[in-house]
Amino acid sequence: MRPETLAVHAGAEPDAATGAVAPPIHLSTTFAHGPAGERVAGFEYVREGNPTQDRLEAALAALEGGAGALAFASGMAAISALLDGLPAGAEVLYPQDCYSGLRVLAHEFLPPRGLVARAVDATDPAAVRAALTPATRLLWLETPSNPQLRICDIAALSTLAHDHGVAVACDNTFATPLLQRPLALGADVVMHSTTKYLGGHSDALGGALVFARRDAWFDAVAHRRHLTGGVLAPFNAWLTLRGLRSLPARLAWHCRNARAVAEFLAGHPRVEAVHWPGLATHPNHAIAARQMRDFGGMLSVRIRGGRDTALAVAAKVRLFTNATSLGGCESLIEHRASVEGPNPVSPPNLLRLSVGLEHADDLIDDLRQALA
């Protein structure tokens, strides 16, 4: 089945007990069992699994073309669960431009555990090859990357990594499985912050890992989730499922609006650069066009003049809201360097835009007056 159909139907069977078409939310933390712990319907305690989460995991696995999915309390819980399973001494390579939370984990949390995490230019396969060592265990990819919308070649890097016995994980939050399917391109695991496009309404924190194979790695991460407890609440699983059903329709609109906004910004004299992989001027447009179905609703823009002029634009928007996060119905704007803590890495004149579902002309009018 095609992804549009899977988004509506995967994990959406009518409730067996009542025929309810909308899925029930099972909030119960515990499930009756027999006197010797015999399971009645496969469940025991909510931290291990629950029926609402099962539906979400079935839907995510189907959409990504994976063998199994694990839902987590947040995207960061999903990332941590994967990294925490690496043995001491292992090396992880991650992209120079990436979600700031991953960078902080790599700097602060991995070294005390005896792990080596190194940032590489993932847009350059030769740089990745040069960074591989016999201790490298995991290559982390994020494409398009947050916030500079860099593109890396998932297929080429997966082949390279596998030739060296290195596993590949790909953060697919910006693209979603509707635009890009990393497992089909060779990655071993896909990670999502479902908080963003999958939930789609800025009201449910969540994360997920989708595995190409249901193997010992999958079982180990599931066991880790059960024991360390970074699980998704059933209500958030339900909200995320609800969002997922309309993902294809929303995303088509996000992509269309982002194109209109990117083209407007690219032609504006106060704009130094627009980072959106759908523009032919994007340095990795050709790879994006090959591995993505469309280019997504996220873009970033660099304003001529520097930090102060960028901040002045962010202060002048009326329809865009200055806020972090992305992928909701409403358009958001954020000066990333201001929110990256004591050592910001984003260019000081960069604004990140999550282009929402409003009319594109209203968004452009707002940006035009803010840039005036």
Ligand X SMILES: *Cc1c(COP(=O)(O)O)cnc(C)c1O
Residue 75 touches ligand X, criterion: CB under 6 A: yes
Closest CA to 291 of 149, 147, 146, 156: 156
> Catalytic annotation on 99?
yes
| Residue from 80, 158, 176, 195 binding ligand X (CB under 6 A) | 195
CB under 6 A: which stretch of 114-122, 169-177, 244-252, 309-317 binds ligand X?
169-177
Residue 193 touches ligand X, criterion: CB under 6 A: yes
Per-position x/- string for 260-299, each x denoting binding to ligand X as judged by CB under 6 A, each - no binding: ----------------------------------------
Assess contact for 101 and 109: CB atoms under 8 A: no
Closest CA to 115 of 143, 140, 146, 150: 140
Output 137 or 336, the one with its CB closest to ligand X.
336
CB under 6 A: which stretch of 73-81, 225-233, 247-255, 349-357 binds ligand X?
73-81
Residue nearest to ligand X (CB): 75
Distances (CA, A) of 170 to 86, 130, 226, 288: 16, 20, 23, 15
Main-chain phi, psi angles of 187, to 5 degrees: -65, 155
Give the number of other Cβ atoms within 10 Å of residue 67's Cβ: 14
> Hey, which bits of the chain come out as E strands?
68-72, 91-95, 116-120, 136-142, 167-171, 189-193, 207-211, 271-275, 298-303, 321-322, 332-335, 350-354
Per-position x/- string for 27-66, each x denoting binding to ligand X as judged by CB under 6 A, each - no binding: ----------------------------------------
Residue 101 touches ligand X, criterion: CB under 6 A: yes
Closest contact distance (angstroms) between CB of 98 and ligand X is 7
Closest contact distance (angstroms) between CB of 172 and ligand X is 9
**Buried b / exposed e along 133-167 (16+ C-beta atoms within 10 A):** eeebbbbbbbbbbbbbbbbbbbeebbebbeeeebb
Choosing from 103, 196, 336, 352, which is the catalytic residue?
196
Output 10 or 102, the one with its CB closest to ligand X.
102
Output 141 or 279, the one with its CB closest to ligand X.
141
Closest CA to 250 of 105, 331, 357: 357
CA distance 174 to 172: 6
> Catalytic annotation on 197?
no
> Catalytic annotation on 171?
yes
Closest contact distance (angstroms) between CB of 145 and ligand X is 8
Per-position x/- string for 119-148, each x denoting binding to ligand X as judged by CB under 6 A, each - no binding: -----------------------x---x--
Dihedral (C-alpha) 303, 306, 309, 314: value to the nearest 10 degrees?
A: 60
Positions marked active-site: 47, 99, 171, 196
State the residues that interact with ligand X by CB under 6 A.
Answer: 74-76, 99, 101, 142, 146, 171, 173-174, 193, 195-196, 205, 207
